Structure 1
């Protein structure tokens, strides 16, 4: 309806798979501050959270981002989008994921663009789209906070290896 899914049915399956993988990353980010149980407060699992977050930064985040970087590189339509030659919901989700990772893990993502230039370019291109830019600058956009999935706890962040 909004034209954010590929018209080609085969590419719709690709887009769906990528979206599900993005959802996996979001789950792993949540688990960095709730590694034992979602029903426990962060303060009740801080030691485990630090271990989990550092493992995420050292191993899981690079694995996922290398995969998405490769998807962009291998897109037959060019590396401006994750699927096909036009903006899709997957590009919007990737923008949000990268943006939120910068909030939650500023030290770990400090050199993000050097390691993942295509993903950084996608993030910047989505942010520069007129309607997206207007939304990002508006009062309607809620800021990140420590009640959302992407939380910034300084003790969980560290420079990427």
Structure 2
């Protein structure tokens, strides 16, 4: 990766590090997948000693930033030389051109890719999280279980099909260039985001997703999912210890929120 511009001069490319919590894929997984797909070495605080302390130091009320960067609000956080930035779409917008995960010689392509990634994050990550925390993030799931049951029914019956149908249309559109990937006929970070979101909702709602896949709905969406999953670098990553296991994060498996047999 090329070095970000700054006032400081360095003779070697700076280390690039993802700052995120340990023990969960979470929102940091979208950034990891970008690095892994590109074959780029990166630091990951989730795999480092005193990880939690490192994350807390970044988001502490005492952190007022530095000469180059304002303080981040929450992880995931990317550190690259003097640059410290946060928010998944912002990080991917920065990394995409550097990692070859947006089309070259296409000045508008990065914005199309980012729009697709934002849509996946909205419907298949943020809304998936709100299913089990529909009232307040500060409350336990058990404190809002009745509301979560109502939210889950609407999500399965209305919101999930809406977003899956949208991406099926994208893969059928001319800009997809053949339907193998979302844009320009090549792997972009939007495909990686969609893959992770689909993997997450499969973990959270296995019965519902099995029913959908058995019905042969959204075939291009699931073909893309399997295509990304089978990408050599991604496949190796998913089988490695670097891949965090699902736990109590964005995508949670509460059987009562899933499609009932």
Asked if TM exceeds 0.5, the reply is yes
Query: Does the CA contact (< 8 Å) of 1:29 and 1:150 recur in 2?
Result: yes
Deviation at 1:55, TM superposition (A): 0.4
Question: Structure 1: any 5+ residue segments left out of the alignment?
Answer: none
1:103 aligns with 2:203: yes
The Cα shift of 1:5 comes to: 1.3
Which consecutive residues of structure 2, in runs of 5 or more, have no partner in the other structure? 1-97
Which structure's CA Rg is the greater one?
Answer: 2
- Structure 1 residue corresponding to 2:155, chosen from 56, 66, 72: 56
Q: Is the Cα–Cα contact under 8 Å of residues 75 and 82 in structure 1 kept in the other structure?
A: no
Aligned mate of 2:138, from 34, 39, 64: 39
Q: Could you say which structure has the greater relative contact order, defined with CA pairs below 8 angstroms and 6 or more residues apart?
A: 1
> What SS is found at the alignment partner of 1:110?
helix
> What value does the CA root-mean-square deviation take over the aligned residues?
1.3
CA contact (8 A) 2:102 2:188 kept: yes
Matched with 1:158 is: 259
Q: Which has the higher strand share?
A: 2
Alignment of 1:111-126 (within 5 A): 111-113=211-213, 114-126=216-228
Contact 1:50/1:155 (8 A) holds in 2: yes
What TM-score do you get using the length of structure 1 for normalisation? Answer: 0.94
Q: TM-score, normalised by structure 2?
A: 0.59
Cα distance between partner residues in 2 of 1:132 and 1:112: 24
Deviation at 1:13, TM superposition (A): 1.5
The answer to which of 61-70 and 13-22 deviates more is: 13-22
2:111 counterpart of 1:13: yes
Q: Which residue of 2 aligns with 1:4?
A: 101
